[in-house]
Amino acid sequence: MSEPNETPPPPDDTPVDLKAEYDASHIHEVLEKLDRELIGLKPVKTRIREIAALLLVERMRKKMALTAETPTLHMCFTGNPGTGKTTVAMRMADILHKLEYVREGHMVPVTRDDLVGQYIGHTAPKTKEIIKKAMGGVLFIDEAYYLYKPENERDYGQESIEILLQVMENNRDDLVVILAGYKDKIDRFFHSNPGMRSRIAHHVDFPDYQPDELLAIAKLMLAQQNYRLSPDAEKAFAEYIVRRMEQPQFANARSIRNALDRCRLRQANRLFARSGGLRKVDLMTIEAEDVLASRVFSET
Amino acid sequence: MMTNHGNRITQGQFSFLPDLTDEQITAQIKYALNNGWAVSVEYTDDPHPRNTYWEMFGMPMFDLKDPAGILMEINNCRKTFSNHYIRVTAFDSSRGWETPRMSFIVNRPKDEPGFGVVRQEGPGRTIRYTVHSYATDKPEGGRY
């Protein structure tokens, strides 16, 4: 029951306090957290800032009774493995919630298995169930291109895509869809589904990390788990990163995390072998020898 | 004598109030979701008060965060069964409850004929009473 708006729109020269609105929205906390906890990813951060600005201005416009259609915020994240697509998507849900674009701010991560059924008539209810779960938040479809299998024309993925397209168009206020995947495969996917491409306003490309960025990420990961690298170990790890990057199947931050897990394993082993004389600092520090024992150093 | 004004059936919550608007329904569902209850949509064309089990319109919806999805289902159901009774039930699965905690009607037929009382002559001049819905005289599907 909406009552007709009796108040006349404010005059054109009404002052607009964007700064106060910005401070009130807590968005700077989220953006600062983003800067602090996500290393690198320049284009991604720029785009998030742009979106935040757009939503803020949109909110001011609404206050001034300048109605416009809600902006589409469906996004597509492309990038190599381990470049932080999922992490950013998770943040995105939080940011959009703070900006009051989505009502709940939760993220529902899904893959093809969650959306596509196994027999006729199974796909639609399955997809709809997921969509209902994601409403008020963000639906994150990882490796979205597997939804469409061109080699099998009876594949049910197409049905799922059609339902998604419909929801992306009609329920724009209710959920934000984020697709993610590797660049070339996503491009091919869009090529065969032009409708999907045109409904996504934001295509964000995640660049690969540089060695120094990876080192910063490693330190951040360790700090979160209450570990630290000794100065020697830090040098060794920088060397490790350079060598590891040359090897096949390098998955950016994910490889770093695995490497750190192995370092922790070696550190535990080393501490265990050492008899007595342990201090708290020993439990926290990863030494150069823990890093240097890695496979990449022996293969020279 | 007509005790129920307008012949509207009064089952579940809010049934003495005017029909809920979509915003009001959304607010009620939000309350259920905040309590972690699973919400489902059901319909029937047999409004007898002892008819507890209505037909399910789709599966009960678990793990939802936002009422928009449920409202979508309600509207789908209204489209399919525009002249049936539709109700929304919120089921509490927590230990010790395991029961519907909310239930309210969100759609009614345009014309509700109401109920009549049927008297049955029993042994020794006993009278047995039963409530009979006029609508159920017609076969299922053609009642409203």
pLDDT of residue A101: 85
Regions of chain A short of the pLDDT cut 50:
1-2
Contact A133 B70 (CB under 8 A): no
Chain B residues in contact with chain A using a Cβ-Cβ cutoff of 8 Å: 21, 23, 58-59, 61, 63-70, 72-73
Rounded distance, CA A172 to CA B49, Å? 40
pLDDT of residue A1: 46
Which of A125, A129, A174 faces B68 most closely, judged by CB atoms? A174
DSSP characters over A189-239: HHHH-HHHHHH--EEEEEPPPPHHHHHHHHHHHHHHTT-EE-HHHHHHHHH
pLDDT of residue B4: 62
pLDDT of residue A177: 94
**For A61-77, b where at least 16 C-beta lie within 10 A, e where not — what string?**
eeeeeeeeeeeebbbbb
Share of chain B above pLDDT 70, in %: 96
Contact A135 B58 (CB under 8 A): no
Are B12 and B103 in contact by the 8 Å Cβ rule? The answer is yes
Residue A42 structure tokens:
């320049």
pLDDT of residue A35: 83
User: Residue B1 — very low, low, confident or very high, per pLDDT cuts 50/70/90?
Assistant: very low
Burial (CB count within 10 angstroms: exposed 0-12, middle 13-18, buried 19+), residue B37: buried
What Cα–Cα distance (Å) separates residue A203 from each residue in A146, A268, B71? 18, 43, 31
Reduced DSSP (H G I as helix, E B as strand, rest coil) percent helix, strand, coil of chain B, to 5 = 25, 30, 45
Chain A residues in contact with chain B using a Cβ-Cβ cutoff of 8 Å: 1, 103-104, 106, 125, 129, 131-133, 135-137, 171, 173-175
Of B114, B119, B120, residue with least CA distance to B137: B114
Evaluate if residue B103 carries a pLDDT over 90: yes
Rounded distance, CA A203 to CA A189, Å? 14
Contact A137 B65 (CB under 8 A): yes
Rounded distance, CA A154 to CA A132, Å? 26
Quote the pTM value. 0.82
Evaluate if residue B115 carries a pLDDT over 50: yes
Share of chain B above pLDDT 90, in %: 66
Residue type, B69: G
Average pLDDT for chain B: 90
Rounded distance, CA B33 to CA B74, Å? 15
pLDDT of residue B3: 58
Contact B65 A106 (CB under 8 A): yes
Rounded distance, CA B38 to CA B63, Å? 7
Mean pLDDT of the region B11-40: 93
pLDDT of residue A265: 92
Which of A1, A133, A174 faces B63 most closely, judged by CB atoms? A133
Rounded distance, CA A284 to CA A1, Å? 61
- CB neighbours of B24 closer than 8 A, spacing ≥ 6? none
Rounded distance, CA A135 to CA A187, Å? 27
pLDDT of residue B100: 93
